[in-house]
Amino acid sequence: MVVLYPGSFDPVTNGHLDIIKRCSKKFNKVIVAVLNNPSKKPMFTVEERVKLLQEVCKDYDNVEIDCFSGLLVDYAKKRDISAIVKGLRAVSDFEYELQMALMNRNLDNDIETLFLMTSAKYSFLSSSLVKEVARFNGDISDLVPKSVEQAIKVKIKGE
């Protein structure tokens, strides 16, 4: 089975990698798809996020990194994928992700959303929090892979 793990990944965190690693063990193929959302002002471009994900996922033979814009269900249909994986950290995530899953199901009844709970040690972790801590020179070394930490520091230095 091929599954789709979509997100902004701005930047990719150890929580994201936890979900990717676990999915790579359970499914034949995992497509990690970076959302290009022009209405947001990300720290990293889509190309940079794809490159960072390729770097940190290079040891997973069954993980492919891609990007998309527009509706997730349209991308899933284009790639012939019928299962979307979403990571959940807390009850607040569930509310939002349930709405999205139901909307996606409304748009295409053949697409299922699978929810995967994050590991407890990453339950507080978000890309936004990582960026905020990094901007105030806080230690993010346990929150993101080393290459991502370095990329964040370079971006902040250039701001």
77 as an active site residue: the answer is no
User: Which helix (H) or strand (E) is 92 found in, with range?
Assistant: helix 91-107
82 as an active site residue: the answer is no
Question: Helix, strand, coil % (nearest 5) of the chain?
Answer: 45, 20, 35
Give the three-state DSSP class for 69.
coil
Give me the catalytic one of 25, 40, 41, 157.
40
Known binding residue 75? Answer is: no
Known binding residue 7? Answer is: no
69 as an active site residue: the answer is no
Give me the catalytic one of 21, 22, 51, 89.
89
Known binding residue 40? Answer is: yes
Known binding residue 135? Answer is: no
Known binding residue 124? Answer is: yes
127 as an active site residue: the answer is yes
Known binding residue 82? Answer is: no
Known binding residue 119? Answer is: no
Q: Give me the residue label for tokens 């936004």.
A: 128
Residue 40 burial (10 A CB sphere; 0-12, 13-18, 19+) = exposed
Q: How far apart are CA 7 and CA 12, in angstroms?
A: 9
Active site residues: 16, 40, 89, 127
User: Residues annotated as binding site?
Assistant: 8-9, 16, 40, 72, 86-89, 97, 122-128
User: Residues annotated as binding site for substrate?
Assistant: 8, 40, 72, 86
User: Residues annotated as binding site for ATP?
Assistant: 8-9, 16, 87-89, 97, 122-128
